[in-house]
Chain A
Amino acid sequence: MVTADEVWQALAEIPDPEIPVISIVDLGVVKGIEVTDEKVDVEFTPTFMGCPALDTMRLAMEARIAELGATADVHVRLDDSWSTDDITPEGREKLRAAGFAPPAPRPAEPLTLVQLERGLRCPYCGSTSTRLENLFGPTPCRSIRYCDDCRQPFEQFKTI
C-alpha cells in the first residue's frame, strides 16, 4: 500500500512542462494528497487558468501514481488557492539559476505597475539596474525584463 509520503516524493520528480528546471511540487500546485484504500486523491490548483501545461501536469500525475500501483483522482481547484508565494525556496533558487527572476512576493494590496517597474535583481549578473520591458512574455506566467548592466534580457515569473 502506497503512502502519502511516497506519492509526494514521486510527484516531486515530475518537471514543470514549460519550465522543466523545477518540479510541480516546487511550483506549489499540489495542495494536498490523501491516500484511501487503493485510491490517491490529489488536490491540484492551476497556476494560470489558460496555461496549456495544466492538462499535461494532470496526466503526468495520474501516470506517475499509476506506476505506484494506485489510482489517482486529481481534483482541479478553480479558486485563489495558488500564489507565486507558494513556490518553494528550492524552486525559486532553481528558477534563478536557470535565468528566470523569481517572482516578487505578493503584496497585501493589489499589485501596481509602479511595484513591477522597480529594479529587481538580474538573475545573470545580480545588478538591480533592471527594468520592465513587457508585462507579458512567452507564456502567461512570465514578464520580460532587461538588465542595463549586463545588457541581458531575462524573464521574470509574474507575481500572482
Chain B
Amino acid sequence: MSDRTDLLLAIADDELILGWRNSEWTGIAPFLEEDVAFSSIAQNEIGHARALYELAAAELGTTADELAFDREPGEYRSAPLVELRRLEWARTIARHWLYETADEIRLDALKASDDPDIAGLAAKMDREETYHRMHAEMWVDRLLATDEGRTRLIEAIDELWPYALGVLDDELRPELVARAQEKLGRTLPDVEPVPRGAHEAELGELWEEMTMVRRSAPAGAQW
C-alpha cells in the first residue's frame, strides 16, 4: 500500500469513527440544538470519510463501502482519540475541540499538497469543518466562562491530551500544542502520544455495531 493510500485511510477512518461517535448523541443530547448539531457534524464527517475512501479505493481497486465496512477492527488506521466512547458532555466537547483543532492543522498541510485530488478534497472538507470548529470553540468558550465548566473541561482535556497528540504526525504536533495552549491559557502536560493503531477496546464494540447490517446481508448486496 502506498503512503498516499495509507494517509487517505488514516484520515477517512478518523472521520468515519468520529462521525459514528458523534451520531451517538442523536436523540439524547442535553438539548435539542446539540442533538441537531452533533447529528449534522456526524453527517459531514461520514461524507468526508466516503470521499476519502473513494480516492483510496480507486488506487486499491476496491470500493468505499468495502474499505469502510469489510476490514477487521485491527486493520483500521484511526487515532484512538476518535475511538473512545465518552458519554459525558465535558469530555465530548474536549474531544470535539481537540480533534477539530488537530484536523485544521492536518487540512492546512493537505491543502498545500502537490497531489491535486488530495489538495482539492482537503479544501472542500475545510469549508465544512469551519462550522465544526466554530461550534467547538463556542462550547470551549462557554465552558471556560464558569468555574465548574472550566474545571470539568480542563480535567477532560488533560485526560484526552495524549490521545489528541496521537492524531497528528510528529512534524505537525508542535502546532497543536501551540494552538491548544494559546486557547486555554495554560501549559499542557508533556506526555507521550497515544499512537495510531494502538486501538482502544471500544473500537471493537463500535465495529460490531457499525458493520452488523452489512455482515448480516449476502455478499454483494447493494445499499
Contact = CB atoms under 8 A, between A and B. Distances in A.
Interface of A: 46, 48-51, 77-81, 83, 110-113, 116, 133-140, 144, 158, 160
A41 to B, nearest CB: 19
9 contacts: A49-B51, A49-B125, A50-B44, A78-B120, A80-B123, A113-B138, A116-B134, A140-B47, A160-B127
A116 B135 CA distance: 12
B47 A135 contact: no
Contacts of A113: 134, 137-138
A160 B127 CA distance: 6
B131 interface: yes
Interface of B: 33, 36-37, 39-41, 43-48, 50-51, 54-55, 117, 120-121, 123-128, 130-131, 134-135, 137-138
A78 B134 contact: no
Given A79-B120, A110-B130, A111-B130, A137 B48 contact: no
Nearest to B116: A79
A78 B55 contact: yes
Contacts of A50: 43-48, 50
Contacts of A80: 120, 123-124, 126-127
Looking at B36, B45, B121, B131, the one whose CB has the most chain A CB atoms below 10 A away is: B131
A107 B83 CA distance: 35
A90 B131 CA distance: 26
B97 to A, nearest CB: 14
B131 A136 contact: yes
B120 A136 contact: no
Nearest to B135: A135
| A interface secondary structure, majority | loop
B123 A51 contact: no
A39 to B, nearest CB: 22
A79 B123 contact: yes
B36 A49 contact: no
A133 B32 CA distance: 11
Contacts of B135: 135-136
Contacts of B120: 77-81
A142 B44 CA distance: 12
Given A78-B117, A80-B127, A137-B36, A112 B134 contact: yes
Contact of A140 (B40, B54, B55, B134): B40
A49 B123 contact: no
A81 B124 CA distance: 8
A136 B37 contact: yes
B124 A136 contact: no
Given A50-B48, A112-B134, A113-B134, A79 B43 contact: no
A108 to B, nearest CB: 14
Contact of A49 (B39, B128, B137): B128
B133 to A, nearest CB: 9
Given A50-B43, A113-B137, A135 B131 contact: yes
A160 B50 CA distance: 20
